[in-house]
Structure 1
Amino acid sequence: MKSYKVASSINLSEISTKEIIEKASKKLKKNRKKLSQLQETMYAEGKYAVLICLQGMDTSGKDSLIREVFKDVNAQGVEVTSFKVPTEVELKHNYLWRHYIALPEKGKIGIFNRTHYENVLVTRVHPEYVFSENIPSVKSLEDLDDDFYNKRMDEINNFEKQITNNGTIVLKFFLNLSKEEQKNRLLRRLKLKEKNWKFSPGDLKERQLWDKYQFCYQDLLNKTSTENTPWFVIPADDKDTARYLVSEILVEELDKLNFKEPELPEKYKSEIKNYKKQLESE
């Protein structure tokens, strides 16, 4: 799956948003079982946590991907956090604070549905949002220039480096959706009564800023994909394919870590026969 990894500078306009993999749903089922096994072994070993970061334009399929890819993993082994507009309490801390406290504990898989990258994405498209953070050095929009966001990306790289050094595996996925497919999915929400609740007029306003978002995504992908915390660009126009690709990359990357269940201490091993007899004699 190396072809999806951001290992050098990319141009999003040159990357296809559509790919069809035959029997993707069937292949996904196999990977779901493997992910469940990997998480159980990882929990038993107790050395690693996994943080999965999902980003993508509205309607790119993040919610349904989480549901379909992780449905076989023990519910206690997966924690999903969706980051919305910061609360009053969150704004009284630095912008990474709420992401720190949501990190998964060792043995578990944490999923950020929208992530700390919103701080160099939405706030870059709408820089006025940064004013609510009350940063002493930010006095006007002119202070929110490229240097400001480049500095934030450096801080995010350092944040991810710190947590990987302490046993958290970070895998980041950008669901690369075409503007045409987004239009089709928004129309579907309007046409199907049972999907109406998903629609927001704000989606149309953000759609008008498509090019700005694409620029910001491309910039952060190029500046924050590292060997230890890579980004993967996933073609998202076909949901089945996108789900399978994410599952395949997860299995491939986690398999490399060779998780191992701990062995029973020798003092207990030598008594296994006695323990069996004791139970069987009840």
Structure 2
Amino acid sequence: MKNISIDSLKVSSTIKLADFPTLIDVATSEKKKEKELQKIREKLSKIQDMMYAHNKYSVLICLQGMDTAGKDSLIREVFKEFNARGVVVHSFKTPNTNELEHDFLWRHYLALPEKGKFSVFNRTHYENVLITRVHPEYIVNENIPGIDKVDDITPEFWENRFESINAFEKHVASNGVIILKFFLHLSKEEQRQRLLRRLEKEKHNWKFSPADLKERLLWEDYQNCYEEAINKTSKPHAPWLIIPADNKETARYLVAKSILEELEKYEFHYPELDQEIQDNIKMYHDKLASEK
């Protein structure tokens, strides 16, 4: 299997999304990719168990991408070996009435992972500089002072949002949250094919919405917003990785490998036993073993 450098996927300088491929050849079969993914899953599961016991760090995985980019199936396949107590998935929809009574980051703070656990944001706090930027009329619903209509939204407003997001991520990272952000980079043609499959296969019809076609007309607007958001918020403590997503199996493998390589940089360990317990382990064992 062709070795792909994870560093080549990380955004460490200003980028153009058009320069990144949506499909790469890893020179192997789908079956071999699944075997490699299984190996990584098992390693991640062991790390998560140790991280849970270590109880000092947590992990925030952020997934963004256009509709049909494969976020749901990626979550299912990458985290399937995890202990259920160790990972929580949050899918952020349109803010509800209660959420709109708070600032735009409030609901994301509430969903941050506890120490020793993973949180996966399926769509993230970046929706607040993506869909709201393509559809600025949504901002009016937030009841922000000074913004009563779309014309009140200035370029400075978006700059302030980027600054708030950067401050949010820096704060949580400094408190032990390991952050990895993945943009599933899908081509417009592959999205077309996936939408067609939703219509052609009856069991997938429920996934289709006419709104998908309306949003597809805004493809370039979304690409521009993603590009700017990635460039303004990819930091060493919270990097963006651009994942070629036209092949779902390859995307899953690359995301899993990226997470594994990042976590292997940390020295997680099981807590040391109290000396008295260590000194008496054999006695405790023998006492339990002798019970009938």
TM-score, shorter chain, exceeding 0.5: yes
Does the residue aligned with 1:54 lie in a helix, a strand or coil?
strand
Where structure 1 has 5 or more consecutive residues not aligned to the other structure, the ranges are none
Look up the match of 2:184. 175
Match of 1:12 among 17, 28, 32: 17
Give the conservation status (yes or no) of the 8 Å contact 1:20–1:238.
Answer: no
Match of 2:151 in 1: 142
Secondary structure class of the residue paired with 1:227: coil
1:203 deviates by 0.3
Q: Post-superposition shift, 1:60?
A: 0.2
Unaligned 5+ segments in structure 2 are 1-5
Partner of 2:240: 231
Partner of 1:84: 93
User: Percent same amino acid among aligned pairs?
Assistant: 58
RMSD across aligned C-alpha pairs, in angstroms?
0.8
TM superposition shift of 1:139: 2.7
- In the TM superposition, residue 145 of structure 1 has moved relative to its aligned partner by 2.7
The whole-number CA distance in structure 1 between the counterparts of 2:65 and 2:163 is: 21
Partners of 1:39 and 1:164 in 2: how far apart?
18
Q: Give the partner amino acid of 2:75.
A: I
Match of 2:3 in 1: none
- What is the aligned partner in structure 2 of residue 187 from structure 1? 196
Query: Aligned ranges for residues 30-69 of structure 1 at < 5 Å?
Result: 30-69=39-78
**TM-score (norm: length of structure 1):** 0.99
One-letter amino acid of the structure 1 residue matched with residue 162 of structure 2: M
SS at match of 2:141: helix
State the alpha-carbon separation in 2 of the partners of residues 240 and 49 from structure 1: 26
Read off the aligned partner of 2:53 and give its amino acid letter: A
Provide Cα deviations, 1:234-260, integer angstroms capped at 9, x if missing partner. Answer: 000000000000000000001101211
Aligned partners of 1:31 and 1:251 also within 8 Å: yes
Counterpart of 2:204, as a letter, is K
Q: Are the counterparts in 2 of residues 91 and 133 from structure 1 also a CA contact under 8 Å?
A: yes
Aligned length: 282
Please list the CA deviations of residues 83-122 of structure 1 after superposition, one character each: whole Å capped at 9, or x if unmatched.
Answer: 0000000000111000000111011110000000000000
Deviations 1:214-242 (A, max 9, x none): 00000000000000000000000000000
Query: Shift in Å at residue 281 of structure 1?
Result: 2.0
**Where does 1:195-210 land on structure 2 (aligned, <5 Å)?**
195-210=204-219
Question: Deviation digits for residues 30-75 of structure 1, max 9, x if unmatched?
Answer: 0010110111000000001100000000000000000000001111
SS of the residue corresponding to residue 274 of structure 1 reads helix
